[in-house]
Amino acid sequence: MAALEGSPVGGSETVTGENLHPGTGDDLGSTEQEGDNEEGILRIGEVTKVAGLTSRTLRYWEEIGLIAPIDHVENRERKYSVAVLERIDVIRRLQEVLGLSLLEVKAVLEQEDRLVELISRYRADFDSGSRLDMLTQAKMANEEIIRRLDERLSEIGRFRMERVERGQRIEALLSQMLRDIGD
């Protein structure tokens, strides 16, 4: 994940180069999805359709703290800001591209949310001592995200190397067998 830059999105920021909005708050503004009654508000069925997920998945992700609805209407139907679509995209990318478990995804998102909160506070507080503290905390939160990603990439690298070595052993056995057959 890159350093955070951009405008707030429900307490979150745009991640430079990736246009990710990991927060779960207010209206995204730039996404043109609309709910039936309110601009920028989606019902759970609309989110499932756009995101290609089941409502059961969304409810589970809510239960474990990955996403949050902005409201529950009287019939207990959940309403989401369009920013949740960006968060879902981040969750899926962390799972599919990096192979993170939901627990690992949550840990990364918590650090990302912490960064967003610190940046928001930084922009609102002009005391240099407070700003220095917030930047130090933001640096540590970002380093934690990088550490987690590096761990996963290292695991992937080790697994790949094991597969390469196995392939080399298979290739050697195949070559030997072909030589034995040819003799």
Does the predicted TM-score (pTM) go above 0.75? no
Domain that holds residue 163: 41-182
SS3 51: helix
> Residue 130 domain-assigned?
yes
Distance CA 98, CA 142 (A): 17
> Residue 2 domain-assigned?
no
The pLDDT of residue 77 is: 76
Q: And the tokens for 11?
A: 């307490």
> Residue 24 domain-assigned?
no
Residue 83, domain CATH: 1.10.1660.10
The pLDDT of residue 76 is: 72
> Residue 159 domain-assigned?
yes
The pLDDT of residue 176 is: 95
Q: Residue-wise pLDDT tens for the chain (183 aa)?
A: 333 333 222 333 333 233 333 333 333 233 333 334 567 889 888 999 999 999 999 999 999 999 998 876 666 778 898 889 999 999 999 999 888 899 999 999 999 999 989 988 888 988 888 889 999 999 999 999 999 899 989 999 999 999 999 999 999 999 999 999 987
How many folded domains does the chain comprise? 1
Query: 90, 72, 94, 70: which is closest to 82 by C-alpha?
Result: 70
The pLDDT of residue 73 is: 61
